[in-house]
């Protein structure tokens, strides 16, 4: 960070912005390549139009980034300031460069589901980032594959704290007070927890755990567990029923499409079953996740998991197929979509349609194209 007393002009002059190298854009701004002239280090700058987003909200995100900075799996903020002169309507946030793309891109790289060991490597970084945030009393509230970047060596970087919530954290003991529920709702459609979507008070840490589960499921399976965790989605209704019957969540979802989870380990299934619980209070804390066998590399005790390997095989129509059906999925750069899945040989009924797997904007904002943001 710049020294205290550094002016906006000093910050702007310190960095060279490459307007031709744009990494992404949203409804409020865009991200460009930049260079720290003082250290000759490559970085990026997020440029936000203050006529579309209040400065107070932008500064709030910067404050969160400054508060949780210092962790290797969270994007590092370098400087931030309101622009000067003809750019006085723009806000500039300079951050470390993570040029390896979004974690979402791994679905394209692997042409479908990502191998378990590769997924685990990414998720360990994300889980550690979430653990740091929760220890600091911060609920991210928009955990998704699009908000996880990779740097040049494949290291995970959690980004976008614009929707984050700060719980009171005792400065002496470090104890976080979560007794007061968060009101209102925010997040991204297919990643948002059920309790968030109903618009009642909820716990931000518990909601982050559901979103983490969606991320892991999405990478391992190549599609979302539900399109949206509310009653209007038939998948969610079926999932509520399956959990009431104490069935494995992962197995139940895959059975809808006549698939099995035998391409992944029992430990991965068990963790997904815990994270994707409808009852928010039944989900594990991030500390518990860090100690889960899938993360520690130990074997799951079957007696504690509630299922056996034999129970993971699909029973019905005499057909057993693994989840090696990448040809059923066509991934496009901007929005992965599923083509006709058809039925397995000998089946009379077509398979139900899977949830769309596409990049998602956080709800509460409106996306729009920006064109040349510096010309506004």
Residue among 209, 24, 31 at smallest CA distance from 126: 209
Tokens of 257: 């499409």
Helix-, strand-, coil-residue percentages of the chain, each rounded to 5:
35, 15, 50
Cβ(367)–Cβ(335) below 8 Å: no
Residue among 340, 236, 338, 216 at smallest CA distance from 289: 216
Q: What is the dihedral sign for C-alpha 170, 172, 173, 174?
A: positive
The residues assigned a catalytic role are 142
Residue 54 burial (10 A CB sphere; 0-12, 13-18, 19+):
exposed
Phi/psi at 83 (5° precision): -70, 175
170-177 contacts at long range (C-beta below 8 A, 24 or more positions apart): 174/135, 176/134, 176/135, 176/137
Q: Is 315 left (phi over 0), alpha (psi -120 to 50) or beta?
A: beta
Tokens of 293: 């066998």
Distances (CA, A) of 208 to 50, 131, 246: 28, 10, 23
Cβ(273)–Cβ(225) below 8 Å: no
Task: Classify residue 236 by its DSSP letter.
Answer: H
Residue among 266, 337, 249 at smallest CA distance from 304: 266
Quickly tell me which residue has 């948002």 as its tokens.
192
């Amino acid at each position: 960070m710049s020294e205290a007393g550094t002016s906006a002009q000093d910050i702007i002059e310190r960095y060279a912005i490459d307007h031709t190298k744009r990494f992404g854009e949203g409804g409020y701004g865009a991200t460009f390549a930049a260079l720290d002239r003082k250290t000759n280090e490559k970085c990026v700058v997020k440029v936000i139009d203050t006529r579309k987003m209040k400065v107070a909200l932008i500064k709030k995100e910067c404050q969160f980034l400054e508060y949780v900075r210092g962790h290797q799996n969270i994007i590092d903020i370098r400087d931030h300031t309101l622009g000067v002169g003809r750019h006085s309507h723009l806000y500039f946030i300079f951050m470390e460069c993570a040029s390896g793309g979004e974690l979402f891109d791994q679905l394209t790289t692997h042409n479908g589901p990502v191998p378990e060991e590769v997924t685990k490597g990414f998720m360990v970084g994300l889980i550690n980032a979430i653990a740091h945030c929760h220890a600091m009393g911060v609920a991210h509230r928009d955990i998704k594959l699009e908000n996880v970047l990779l740097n040049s060596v494949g290291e995970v970087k959690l980004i976008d704290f614009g929707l984050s919530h700060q719980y009171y954290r005792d400065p002496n003991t470090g104890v976080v007070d979560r007794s007061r529920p968060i009101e209102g709702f925010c997040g991204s459609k297919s990643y948002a927890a059920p309790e968030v979507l109903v618009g009642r008070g909820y716990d931000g840490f518990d909601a982050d755990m559901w979103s983490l589960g969606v991320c892991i499921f999405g990478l391992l399976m190549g599609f979302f567990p539900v399109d949206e965790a509310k009653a209007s989605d038939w998948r969610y209704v079926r999932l509520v029923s399956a959990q009431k019957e104490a069935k494995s969540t992962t197995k139940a979802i895959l059975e809808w499409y006549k698939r099995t989870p035998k391409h992944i380990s029992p430990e991965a299934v068990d963790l997904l079953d815990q994270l994707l619980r409808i009852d928010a209070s039944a989900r594990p804390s991030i500390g518990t996740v860090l100690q889960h066998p899938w993360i520690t590399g130990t074997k799951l005790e079957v007696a504690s998991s509630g299922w056996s390997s034999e129970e993971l095989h699909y029973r019905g129509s005499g057909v057993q197929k693994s989840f090696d059906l990448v040809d059923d999925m066509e991934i496009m750069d901007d929005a992965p979509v599923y083509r006709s899945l058809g039925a397995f040989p000998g089946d009379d009924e077509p398979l139900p349609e899977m949830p769309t797997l596409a990049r998602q904007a956080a709800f509460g904002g409106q996306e729009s194209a920006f064109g040349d943001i510096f010309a506004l």
